[in-house]
Amino acid sequence: GAGVSQTPSNKVTEKGKYVELRCDPISGHTALYWYRQSLGQGPEFLIYFQGTGAADDSGLPNDRFFAVRPEGSVSTLKIQRTERGDSAVYLCASSPTAGPGGYTGELFFGEGSRLTVL
Amino acid sequence: QKEVEQNSGPLSVPEGAIASLNCTYSDRGSQSFFWYRQYSGKSPELIMSIYSNGDKEDGRFTAQLNKASQYVSLLIRDSQPSDSATYLCAAIDSWGKLQFGAGTQVVVTP
């Protein structure tokens, strides 16, 4: 398909383990976003990439979270020493352009990676 | 206080009636506003954007914006069971980030 692809769709891990979540954006989309959504809440901003660089990582909760986009396409969100509070759906979104200031509200979301930390 | 506030619902609407969803935002610097629809277990999908005061209509959906009151609304006319979903209000804040409300659950009853 031509949509945003996220893998894995489900990940169950134990507290303290390392996790990688992958996002393959829509071809040609330069902007890529990671959001986190907990049950009953709206998506919470984590990080935004414009091309290969992280233009804004102010939403990453702490230094256990890190994301890369080395070739300006696929992105990986990395979580070290997972905690039970990290359990959520991690959503990736892309957009074809960035608006003024680098952001746009017209995002195309993937189906998410549901992370459960036991 | 969250930047974008919505009633969580559920909002129960008879089939064929108008569903009215409300949203307020706290950042006066916000200029762009969006409504996303999210079906249970699925990802958000953009349905409307609005940038200027007034009404914007797209099919059965009408978005309304009042920047002076910091208020955004969404009307769904002729509600259908397929409209049952959570509707997320979102705004681009002064720092350029897209901030979401917690969403309003809409249930359309046949």
Task: Give per-residue pLDDT as tens, B73-101.
Answer: 999 999 999 999 999 999 998 888 899 99
Confidence category of residue A102, pLDDT binned at 50, 70, 90: low
Q: Which of A40, A105, A111 sits opposite B102 (nearest CB)?
A: A40
Asked whether the bond before B10 is cis by omega within 30 degrees of 0, the reply is yes
Residue A87 has pLDDT above 60, yes or no: yes
Phi, psi of A85 (to 5 degrees): -70, -10
Asked if A3 has any chain B CB less than 8 Å from its own CB, the reply is no
Please give the average per-residue pLDDT across A39-47, as a whole number.
94
Sheet (strand B19-25) strand order? B4-6, B19-25, B71-76, B61-66, B54-58
- Please, is A55 exposed, middle or buried when counting C-beta atoms within 10 Å of its C-beta (0-12, 13-18, 19+)? middle
- Judge: B92–A110 Cβ closer than 8 Å, yes or no: no
How confident is the model at residue A7, as a pLDDT? 97
Residues with Cβ within 8 Å of residue A101, at least 6 apart in sequence: B96
CA A94 – CA A105 distance, rounded (Å) = 10
CA A80 – CA A59 distance, rounded (Å) = 16
Helix (H) or strand (E) holding B107: strand B104-109
Percent of chain A with pLDDT over 70: 93
One-letter amino acid at B89 equals C
User: Average pLDDT, whole number, for chain A?
Assistant: 92
Tally C-beta pairs within 8 A across A and B.
64
**Chain B residue set in contact with A, beta carbons under 8 Å:** 4, 8, 32-34, 42-46, 49, 88, 90-92, 95-103
Which chain A residues are Cβ-neighbours of B29 within 8 angstroms? Answer: none
> What are the C-alpha distances in Å from A4 to residues A22, B25, B71, B86?
11, 29, 31, 21
* Lowest-confidence region among A30-34, A56-60, A97-101: A97-101
How confident is the model at residue A101, as a pLDDT? 53
Asked whether the bond before B110 is cis by omega within 30 degrees of 0, the reply is no
How confident is the model at residue B95, as a pLDDT? 81
Q: Which residue has the higher pLDDT, B1 or B75?
A: B75
One-letter amino acid at A104 equals T
How confident is the model at residue B107, as a pLDDT? 97
How confident is the model at residue B1, as a pLDDT? 67
Please give the average per-residue pLDDT across A45-50, as a whole number.
93
